[in-house]
Amino acid sequence: MHDGIWKALADPHRRSILDLLNAGSKSTGEICDSLSHLDRCTVMKHLEVLVRANLVLVERRGRTRLNFLNPLPLHEIVERWISGHTARLAQGAFRMKSVLEGDDNGKNDS
């Protein structure tokens, strides 16, 4: 499920696009202007990877294509991969602190 997201995030150009969209929606032309070292075709290919990963949502307004950041898949990754690890680390640090301070309350927190 998250393989496409990890693949999309692996490329620095795609992360740059996400950073641009984090500030607000942008037309494809605006993204191309901001990434002037890349040609339009390359930007479009990067956008397509981001769309397939559901990280970017597209709305067409006439001839203009507006791109929006979809933060939900990123939030899911943070919840699954980061928050869980952070909670375990904090719990371990609390137990270590309790042991070092001679407090019996931290022994059975698991």
pLDDT digits (tens, 9 = 90+) for 36-82: 999 999 999 999 999 999 999 999 999 999 999 999 998 887 777 67
Distance in angstroms (rounded) separating the CA atoms of residues 56 and 48: 9
Q: Which two tokens stand for residue 39?
A: 């040609």
Residue 83: per-residue pLDDT: 67
Residue 75: per-residue pLDDT: 83
Q: Phi then psi for 58, rounded to 5 degrees?
A: -120, 140
Name the pTM for this structure: 0.71
Q: Phi then psi for 42, rounded to 5 degrees?
A: -65, -45
pLDDT, one tens digit per residue, over 86-106 is 667 667 777 877 787 876 554
pLDDT, one tens digit per residue, over 1-30 is 578 898 999 999 999 999 999 999 999 999
Residue 69 burial (10 A CB sphere; 0-12, 13-18, 19+)? buried
